[in-house]
Amino acid sequence: MIVSNREVMSEIAQKFDSLFNPRSLTLVGASANQYKWGSVILSHIITGHFKGKVYPVNPKEKEILGLKAYSNVKALPETPDLAVVVTPPFSVPQVLQECAEKGIKAAVIITAGFAEVGAEGEKLQREVVNIARKSGMILVGPNCFGIISTACSLCAIMPPLFPKPGPFAVVSQSGNIGFSIAQRLNSKGFGISKLISYGNEADLHLEDYLEYLAEDDETKVILSYVEGLKDGRRFFETAKKVTQKKPIVTLKAGCTSAGARAAKSHTAALAGSDAIFDSVCKQAGIIRVRDMDEIFNVGAALLHQPLPRGKRVGIITAGGGWGVLGADACINAGLSVAQLPEETIKELDSLLPSWWSRGNPVDLVAGVFGEAVMKSIEVMLRCATIDGLMLLNLSPLLPRGIALVSNESSDLREQLKAFADSLAEVFEQLAVLVAKYDKPIITASEFDGGYIDAQVSRLAVQKKIPYYLLPDHAATVLSRLAEYAKYRRNLSPHGS
């Protein structure tokens, strides 16, 4: 049941309502040939259980995938909210014209072969935009993977992905990168609100989507992949407003000349100066990340952790090596490794063996387990010189005797259950401490370097504790959070 009420919506929400909450859609270029995108995308719309009506348009077929097909848009029995277009490029202007005449208010043009292929394609693209603008229709694309909107179970997209609803919006100039990010969010158990593959941004630009997502209640964090900006000034102004409401995490590609060339032929994007983009991000409060791991890692932490009040990190590690790497990682990420006041060291003295290193990183030394570790964590969180906690190697937090050993005589399934139950409890206790002290805890640990780590990762998401494999990941995330927190603090009139 779709419940959006256009009467009480803001102007921008109204504008995008046909796109993200359509009551009905037409797929123009629907096909009965399973190898054509017109069949693949229709099957994804059906498999995704789209909540509205679907009208396939195909000049020859009577029925496609069990749905009555129509010979053209004019022939449709009602005016659908949304048109998804997959016909060849040269046919798109006419299709759009018919959509406009039918009164359709939004279209997703998946077809490629426009501005990204040169002057002729650019001309075709202008034609398409003119038709849309004259009629007040909004356009996604062309040259894109399509969109997903989980509120109405709409999966109008090239590769198969049927995510559950969740707090992340993914806005990507590249279809495959947007897809990868959304897929990973789904695999880890997060879910998404919207996936927008915006391609050539002929009509709607990145800035329009950002404006919309800022007001979208289903979206808590915006993850974006950018190759080039159409209008740097507008991007800056828009992002600056949006980041006051919710975080934008951005991966920018085309940073090198070879990358910029590739971007031009990919989405007709002008990558521009990387230094300028970087400074725009800093001034607009955008959290810029370096790769696909990081966009995901930072997003996950933003969702569930309070922002740190500064850059001073406390490190608790089981295993000295992790601690050394963790300290290096903090410094390299622009954080500082907190000095522990005498009282904190005293408190830890009462919890740890006499030969502990009496400094930060706090190395738990072999043989400290369970309760003593949890108490040490609380001591560190309470410490006034610590703004955020990095927890490296979670094994000692598990009850003694919980170990995962794979050999012929062990029942790994039994072990895994006990392991997962214990770890769930540990994550729950950590989440309680996070709330109590209003400071972030980021964990990094590797259990088996494979399958079990993937399971732990899903568990951590459920329990709202960020979990990564490497200390470097944890430090980078804490650093990004600290920078965003500083930006937000500086905006506030009271500096708090």
Instruction: Identify which of residues 37 and 97 has a Cβ nearer to a second copy in the complex.
Output: 37
Is position 66 an interface residue for a second copy (rule: CB under 8 A)? no
> Which residue matches tokens 């009509």?
203
User: Is the distance from CB of 128 to CB of 91 less than 8 angstroms?
Assistant: no
User: Is the distance from CB of 215 to CB of 12 less than 8 angstroms?
Assistant: yes
The CA–CA distances, whole Å, from 53 to 49, 152, 159, 411 equal: 10, 11, 21, 50
User: At its nearest, how many Å lie between a second copy and the CB of residue 85?
Assistant: 15
Instruction: Identify which of residues 90 and 133 has a Cβ nearer to a second copy in the complex.
Output: 90
User: At its nearest, how many Å lie between a second copy and the CB of residue 231?
Assistant: 20
Is position 253 an interface residue for a second copy (rule: CB under 8 A)? yes
Q: Pick out residues in 361-390 that bind a second copy (CB under 8 A).
A: 361, 363, 365-366
If you write DSSP's letter for every residue of 208-242 in order, what string do you get?
Answer: HHHHHHHH-TT-SEEEEEES--S-HHHHHHHHHHH
User: At its nearest, how many Å lie between a second copy and the CB of residue 169?
Assistant: 17
Give the Cα separation of 278 and 253 in Å (integer).
12
Give the interface size with a second copy as a residue count (CB under 8 A).
87
User: At its nearest, how many Å lie between a second copy and the CB of residue 409?
Assistant: 8
Residue type, 475: A
Stretch that binds a second copy, among 18-26, 68-76, 285-293, 433-441 (CB under 8 A): 285-293
Residue choice 267, 344, 376, 479 for contact with a second copy (CB under 8 A): 267
Residue choice 18, 21, 125, 174 for contact with a second copy (CB under 8 A): 174
The beta-strand segments (E) located in 90-173 are 106-109, 138-140, 146-149, 154-157, 165-172
Is position 191 an interface residue for a second copy (rule: CB under 8 A)? no
Residue choice 33, 256, 279, 462 for contact with a second copy (CB under 8 A): 256
Stretch that binds a second copy, among 55-63, 210-218, 249-257, 431-439 (CB under 8 A): 249-257
Q: Pick out residues in 401-420 that bind a second copy (CB under 8 A).
A: 401, 403-407, 409
Is position 283 an interface residue for a second copy (rule: CB under 8 A)? no
The CA–CA distances, whole Å, from 205 to 139, 155, 173, 208, 387 equal: 9, 21, 10, 5, 38
User: At its nearest, how many Å lie between a second copy and the CB of residue 444?
Assistant: 10
Residue choice 130, 265, 273, 283 for contact with a second copy (CB under 8 A): 265
Structure tokens at 64: 């496609």
Stretch that binds a second copy, among 3-11, 100-108, 201-209, 260-268 (CB under 8 A): 260-268
Give the Cα separation of 233 and 348 in Å (integer).
52
Residue choice 3, 66, 257, 495 for contact with a second copy (CB under 8 A): 257
Instruction: Identify which of residues 4 and 395 has a Cβ nearer to a second copy in the complex.
Output: 395
User: At its nearest, how many Å lie between a second copy and the CB of residue 355?
Assistant: 5
Structure tokens at 431: 């989440």
Q: Pick out residues in 113-172 that bind a second copy (CB under 8 A).
A: 113, 117, 158-160, 162, 172
Instruction: Identify which of residues 431 and 469 has a Cβ nearer to a second copy in the complex.
Output: 469
Is position 3 an interface residue for a second copy (rule: CB under 8 A)? no
The CA–CA distances, whole Å, from 424 to 62, 85, 468, 479 equal: 53, 46, 16, 26
Residue choice 12, 292, 402, 420 for contact with a second copy (CB under 8 A): 292
Is position 7 an interface residue for a second copy (rule: CB under 8 A)? no
H helices then E strands: how many in the chain? 16, 20
Is position 90 an interface residue for a second copy (rule: CB under 8 A)? no
User: At its nearest, how many Å lie between a second copy and the CB of residue 190?
Assistant: 10
Query: How does DSSP classify residue 112?
Result: -
Structure tokens at 361: 């990183």
User: Is the distance from CB of 139 to CB of 16 less than 8 angstroms?
Assistant: no
Is position 273 an interface residue for a second copy (rule: CB under 8 A)? no
Residue choice 215, 218, 278, 328 for contact with a second copy (CB under 8 A): 328
In angstroms, the first-to-last Cα distance of the chain is: 43
Give the Cα separation of 155 and 148 in Å (integer).
5
Q: At what angle do helices 451-463 and 412-437 cross, to 10 degrees?
A: 40
Residue choice 3, 414, 450, 490 for contact with a second copy (CB under 8 A): 450
The CA–CA distances, whole Å, from 35 to 39, 42, 65, 84, 91 equal: 7, 12, 13, 18, 20
User: At its nearest, how many Å lie between a second copy and the CB of residue 133?
Assistant: 26
Please report the sign of the dihedral spanned by the C-alpha atoms of residue 66, residue 71, residue 72, residue 78.
Answer: negative
Residue choice 323, 388, 440, 466 for contact with a second copy (CB under 8 A): 323
Q: Pick out residues in 26-55 that bind a second copy (CB under 8 A).
A: 34-35, 37, 47
